[in-house]
Amino acid sequence: MISVENLTKRYNTITALHQVSFTTRPGIELVVMGPSGSGKTTLVNLIAGLDSPTGGRIVVNDMEVTALSGDTLTAYRRDHVGIVFQQFHLITYLTALENLMLAQYLHSIPSESDALDSLDRVGLRDRADHLPSELSGGEQQRVAIARAITNDPDLILADEPTGNLDEDNERIILDIFRQLKQDGKAIITVTHNPAVGKTGDDILYLDHGKIVSPPVREKNDFPVLH
Ligand code: ADP
Ligand code: MG
């Protein structure tokens, strides 16, 4: 169970998030939709424990993330969360396999067979020895997803995961997410892309840092609630 309670984040005079509350759970993909600047990346960074809020609480499986610091916060990030970014963030001089094994090294003892299994899950086992520059954008994002799941996190956070991809690759990534949630992962995806929104089990709309009702005027651009 993941619970976000009255989460507020201010950067000096800018309120990036204001009293945001929601819950989600394993086996569900929650999509948070909102335009640029609505606070999506801020939300992901807070849940990932990469930044701390001005107010409110985040609880992930009985861990109060917002109360953690130092080693316990590092352990939370390492053992419980996998993050997928729009820009992939692969290390350019390491192969796909080495990128995964580096992530494992930071977590525990690297296991080549576990890393290959993760690449298999995203359909890229045969590309293990390729550098990111030898892979397409969609393939690089699949490696990044394999990296995010190789430590078997409870929660996967995705920030505009298909933002740099064409529609075919978007579909492949969304299929991988569908399988991950069937395996019982909780997924929180933030996006401004209605096509991604449509694939979520639950959907929330963020506007100027607040949870809002589905925008009526743009209703043709936004997925209908269930
Ligand atoms: P989104 O991901 O939806 O585009 P962000 O979470 O990146 O939105 O940003 C939300 C708001 O917070 C924006 O107005 C942005 O300019 C501001 N913001 C984000 N990060 C910082 C920061 N480090 N310092 C100051 N303002 C920030
Ligand atoms: Mg963003």
| Span 119-169, pLDDT tens digits | 999 999 999 999 999 999 999 999 999 999 988 899 999 999 998 888 988
Task: Kindly report the protein residue whose alpha carbon is nearest to atom 24 of ligand 1.
Answer: 11
pLDDT tens per residue across span 38-69: 999 999 999 999 999 999 999 999 999 999 99
Angle at 139 between CA 143 and CA 184, to 5 degrees: 50
Residue-level pLDDT at 226: 46
* Distance separating alpha carbons of residues 161 and 26, to the nearest angstrom: 19
Helix (H) or strand (E) run with residue 16 in it: strand 14-24
Contacts of 102 (CB under 8 A, 6+ apart): 91, 94, 110
Give yes or no for a contact between 203 and 33, defined as CB atoms under 8 angstroms apart.
yes
Indicate whether 199 pLDDT > 70.
yes
Residue-level pLDDT at 40: 97
Ligand 2 centroid distance, CA of 129 (Å): 31
Residue-level pLDDT at 106: 79
Indicate whether 82 pLDDT > 80.
yes
* Distance separating alpha carbons of residues 88 and 165, to the nearest angstrom: 11
The two structure tokens encoding residue 36: 């640029």
In eight-state DSSP terms, residue 215 is P
Indicate whether 225 pLDDT > 70.
no
Residue-level pLDDT at 108: 74
Task: Kindly report the protein residue whose alpha carbon is nearest to atom 18 of ligand 1.
Answer: 16
Our answer on whether the CB atom of 42 is closer than 6 Å to any ligand 1 atom is yes
* Distance separating alpha carbons of residues 203 and 53, to the nearest angstrom: 22
Q: Which atom of ligand 1 is the closest one to the Cα of 17?
A: 10
Residue-level pLDDT at 215: 67
Our answer on whether the CB atom of 24 is closer than 6 Å to any ligand 1 atom is no
Give yes or no for a contact between 188 and 16, defined as CB atoms under 8 angstroms apart.
no
Tell me the CA distances in angstroms from 36 to 156, 192, 193, one per residue in order. Answer: 21, 7, 11
Our answer on whether the CB atom of 40 is closer than 6 Å to any ligand 1 atom is yes
Ligand 2 centroid distance, CA of 159 (Å): 7
Indicate whether 218 pLDDT > 60.
no
For the chain, what percent of residues have pLDDT higher than 90? 78
pTM: 0.91
Indicate whether 10 pLDDT > 90.
yes
Listed range (111-120, 131-140, 209-218) with the worst mean pLDDT: 209-218
Our answer on whether the CB atom of 36 is closer than 6 Å to any ligand 1 atom is yes
Listed range (16-20, 151-155, 215-219) with the worst mean pLDDT: 215-219
Residue environment code for 82-113, b if the CB has 16+ CB neighbours within 10 A, otherwise e: bbbbbebebeeeebbbbbbbbbbeebeebeee
